[in-house]
Amino acid sequence: MKELDNAPLDGFALKLDRVSLKDQAADLLRESIISGKVEPGSKLVERKVAEMLGISRAPARDALMQLEAEGLIVSKPDARYVINLTEQDIDQMHQVRLVLERLAVDLAAQNTNPANQEHQLAALRQMEAAVANEDHGAFARADLQGHTLIWQQANNQHLEKSLLSMMGPIFMFMANAAEFYDWRETLELHRDMVCWINAGERARACQSIERHMENSRQRALGVLKSRK
């Protein structure tokens, strides 16, 4: 059997470097898109992305492919572009998200325990602080963290992966329309949902997420209509 100590490791180092650069590049691009620094509809040319990030084209290409898998970027014949959501996109995404979120909330309510309850309350406190400070970016991050905790508490990795794949476009939209959102209303909806999950009340938790998702859909559609 070939000993690992005697095998050349240069190739492994290169692969690790590339993976690390890809992850860093994907994180930077994701944050830039979600925060609105890179606007919806922007053209993303591989060469220019590599130059902007100061990396070679290979990890830049890998990062773009990662964000495409997350739904933040779409490929067209000439290049990749940051998504630009339509009313149909909003409706269809919320149809799917409602089904997945309802399942996640139902499972999370069955898995409640003191540790999970404290994690949920901690996320709520972050949302409350963001509202008090009128920090919309912090609120969006805390909101996503709160939902992510619910998905993790559901203890179904396939469900969690499916939901995560949808969050990029939705929270990008939220971040780019912060002035149109009633963050206190969103906070109250999230607080109600956490209350019933922590109480293990499955039916009421599901009713709560249904209200939450319909509110989210209506707000998103309202933003699109106001921009026409």
pLDDT tens, 92-106? 999 999 999 999 999
Contact 46, 60 (CB under 8 A): yes
Query: Same domain for 63 and 97?
Result: no
36 and 121 inside one domain: no
- pLDDT mean over 124-140: 90
Q: Is the pLDDT of residue 7 over 60?
A: no
CATH code, 12: 1.10.10.10
CA–CA gap between residue 214 and residue 187 (Å, rounded) = 15
Is 1's pLDDT higher than 70? no
Q: 71 by DSSP, 3-state: which? A: coil
For residues 49 and 93, membership in a common domain is answered with no
Show which of 56, 82, 108 is a domain's final residue. 82
Same domain, 201 and 188: yes
Q: What is the pLDDT of residues 12-67, one digit of tens each?
A: 344 445 568 888 888 888 888 877 788 888 999 999 988 888 888 988 899 999 89
Tokens coding 163: 């939901």
- The region of weakest confidence among 30-34, 95-99, 113-117, 169-173 is 169-173
Rounding to the nearest 10 degrees, give the CA dihedral for residues 83, 86, 90, 96. -70
If asked whether residues 104 and 215 sit together in one domain, one would say yes
44/93 same-domain check: no
State percent of the chain over pLDDT 70. 89
Nearest to 44 by CA among 83, 86, 89: 83
- Arithmetic mean of pLDDT over the chain: 85
20 vs 130, higher pLDDT: 130
Same structural domain, 116 and 57: no
pLDDT of residue 158 exceeding 70:
yes
Q: 134 and 178 in one domain? A: yes
What pLDDT does 4 receive?
38
Taking residues 169-190, report their average pLDDT: 80
Residues near 61 by beta carbon (within 8 Å), at least 6 away in sequence: 46
Which of 82, 112, 144 delimits the end of a domain?
A: 82
pLDDT at 3 over 60: no
pLDDT for 174 equals 72
> Is the Cα torsion angle 156, 147, 69, 28 positive or negative in sign?
negative
Give the whole-angstrom CA distance, residue 40 versus residue 33.
8
Work out the burial of residue 59: count CB atoms within 10 Å of its CB; fewer than 13 is exposed, 13-18 middle, 19 or more buried: buried
- pLDDT higher than threshold 70 for residue 135: yes
Residue 217 has pLDDT above 70, yes or no: yes
Do 153 and 215 lie in a common domain? yes
Specify the DSSP class assigned to residue 1.
-
83-94: pLDDT as tens digits: 888 889 889 999
Count the domains in the chain.
2
Residues 91 and 120 in one domain: yes
pLDDT given for residue 54 in this prediction: 85
Contact 151, 106 (CB under 8 A): no
With left for phi above 0 and alpha for psi between -120 and 50, is residue 75 left, alpha or beta? Answer: beta
Residue 64: what pLDDT?
93
Domain membership of residue 106 as a residue range: 87-226
